[in-house]
Amino acid sequence: MTADIPGLRLDRRTALAVTGAAATALTLAGCDTYGANEAASTAPAGAGPGKQQQPAELATTAEVPVGGGVVKGDTVITQPTAGSYQAFSNVCTHLGCKVNEPADGKIVCPCHNSVFGLDGAVLSGPAGRPLDSRGIRVEGDRIFSE
């Protein structure tokens, strides 16, 4: 058997070898494509570029005393009244020092003694504005960043 392609004449053996190689290449390409799609479809949600980060657990409610608070990472979490939680950046709005953990119902900056309430408001300067608030969400006994 021969294959007649204009300008090309192949005997049977050469035609079969070329056909087999082409079929193998197409099969491998199909497998490669399949694997790539599978990997893309099993990637965890939020893992791709440009996706928002998942909310992080900051603390448990048991860690935040009523009438006080706690510092977790760069976040101050307070509970001014039972069951009411608020969160703030721990960066003082005066010159950027990190505030102390809440004590005696207040948040004090050790650098120049600005004092903030458990609601983040300035009780005494030199800070001229409240601590920057942070969004949180309480689910059961766990507190998450928003």
Check binding of 71 to ligand FES (CB under 6 A): no
Q: Could you say which residues in the range 6-25 bind ligand FES, by CB under 6 A?
A: none
- Nearest-approach distance from CB 41 to ligand FES, in angstroms: 50
Check binding of 80 to ligand FES (CB under 6 A): no
Question: Nearest 5 degrees, angle CA 107-CA 111-CA 116?
Answer: 20
Check binding of 97 to ligand FES (CB under 6 A): yes
Check binding of 126 to ligand FES (CB under 6 A): yes
- Nearest-approach distance from CB 113 to ligand FES, in angstroms: 6
Check binding of 118 to ligand FES (CB under 6 A): no
Q: How many residues bind ligand FES (CB under 6 A)?
A: 11
Q: Quote the strand ranges of the chain, DSSP E.
A: 2-5, 8-11, 57-60, 68-72, 75-81, 84-89, 106-108, 115-117, 122-124, 133-134, 136-139, 142-145
Residue 110 identity: P
Side-by-side strand order, sheet with 75-81: 68-72, 75-81, 84-89, 133-134
Q: How many residues does the chain have?
A: 146
Which residues bind to ligand FES, rule: CB under 6 A? 92, 94-97, 109, 111-112, 114, 126-127
